[in-house]
Structure 1
């Protein structure tokens, strides 16, 4: 059984995968100081609660954008699962796709893995929108080549910046405005409108510009924790695929096994 680990800036997601199917997934806040032993205690308990035997894991693959977290994840894999982890982007787990940008090595592992999974699942030109600490937009051509993208502040970062810089503004939840009107009648409604609809407008505007630059029809695939929230309030997405990164890791693990 494969354990796929996606270590992002905000959360680390662990998933059990068998025959390409995600059986279960668990999420914990990213903390580079968390040791391999701490991960093992937490993860083994959750696995057993759902009826999975940790001893059944014989392969581990990791994608991370947090280099400081890598060592402890390696310890977890070696000490508790008895194997050296496969690292996305490092032989024998090369991405196996054309990265057509100025600095290919600078492409984040999560974005590369998303591109691999999206090209495997969807046809034609693609735009992947990943809602994380940052919101990224990635353009993948019909051959599966990564052509570039956009990095924007995540909606939580935008809200944190607004609240920290304006002393009188309250902290609000990330949720749709309570009114359909875009003219707020009180401070909290005005903040909800500005943060939420402002973010939707930014997203729709950037996708429209990317599509125009591609010059061909392009499907828009949304992933990440907030994708479902925004999907209910825009028609810009052709599909919402919250497990895209994990599925990309499973594909890479299968390719490495074939080698």
Structure 2
């Protein structure tokens, strides 16, 4: 089995794939102080509850946009799984060209979204990833990564609104019953939800015009299903696109970094 670890700014997702399907998917808040032993206590218990043995994990791959989290995640794989994890970076075989002025500046999550989208759904494609930041990622018909746009994530916007305005409370995101709110919280929910729909629709329309060719629009990230309720621009919603990208990347690089070799006899 393959363990994929997607470490984002807000959450870290651990998922196990048996070669045919995903067998488990769990998330924990990102904390760069969390040790490898703490990851082990948490994840090994979840594996046991799911009827999965850590000894069945033959490979591991890590993708992270939080460099400070990498050390303990790598130590977890080495110490507790006895596997040397594959680390997603530009030194690997991605199977496509990164057409950026500074390719090393591109977040690995954006490249993973592009890899998964092209492999699973073809291209050209525009992937909208609703995470800590909302990213718009353009993939060419040949799978090449062609850049995009980055906007503040919806939860960041909610938190900024609460912190900057003394009388505005912290709210939860949800689709409002109407655009015209009859109270402060209803008005905030309307502004956040429909404001984000307007942002996404506007950027998608401009990207399509600038790209100059038909393209699929794919939504991913935990909030993608909710926001898709307010617009018809998405042809597909795939909340697991990033971990699919890690799975596909591991398949393209089976022998890199000792991924398939145990660190000791087992």
TM-score where L is the length of structure 1: 0.96
1:1-259 equivalences under 5 Å are: 1-89=1-89, 91=91, 93-177=92-176, 179-180=177-178, 182-257=179-254
Task: Tell me, in whole angstroms, the C-alpha distance in 1 between the residues paired with 2:128 and 2:164.
Answer: 28
Task: Tell me, in whole angstroms, the C-alpha distance in 2 between the residues paired with 1:94 and 1:21.
Answer: 23
Q: Per-residue CA shift, 1:84-113, capped at 9, x if unaligned?
A: 11001254x332310101110011111111
The count of corresponding residues between Structure 1 and Structure 2 is 256
Q: Per-residue CA shift, 1:4-59, capped at 9, x if unaligned?
A: 00000000000001215222110000001100000011000000001001111121
Gapped runs of 5+ residues in structure 2? 257-266
Task: Tell me, in whole angstroms, the C-alpha distance in 1 between the residues paired with 2:105 and 2:71.
Answer: 20
Q: Per-residue CA shift, 1:155-190, capped at 9, x if unaligned?
A: 00011111101001112110011x32x222211111
Task: Tell me, in whole angstroms, the C-alpha distance in 2 between the residues paired with 1:123 and 1:25.
Answer: 25
SS of the equivalent of 2:253 reads helix
The alpha carbon displacement at 1:124 in A equals 2.6
Q: Say what the alpha-carbon RMSD is for the aligned residues.
A: 1.2
Gapped runs of 5+ residues in structure 1? none
The alpha carbon displacement at 1:232 in A equals 1.5
Task: Tell me, in whole angstroms, the C-alpha distance in 2 between the residues paired with 1:24 and 1:184.
Answer: 40
Q: Is the 8 A contact 1:88 1:94 kept in 2?
A: no
Q: Which runs of 4+ in 1 moved over 3 A?
A: none
More displaced stretch, 206-215 vs 182-191: 182-191
Task: Tell me, in whole angstroms, the C-alpha distance in 2 between the residues paired with 1:71 and 1:14.
Answer: 16
Task: Tell me, in whole angstroms, the C-alpha distance in 2 between the residues paired with 1:38 and 1:26.
Answer: 15
Task: Tell me, in whole angstroms, the C-alpha distance in 2 between the residues paired with 1:258 and 1:116.
Answer: 19
Q: Is the 8 A contact 1:89 1:95 kept in 2?
A: no
Q: Is the 8 A contact 1:132 1:225 kept in 2?
A: yes
Q: Is the 8 A contact 1:20 1:251 kept in 2?
A: no
SS of the equivalent of 2:84 reads coil
The alpha carbon displacement at 1:258 in A equals 6.7
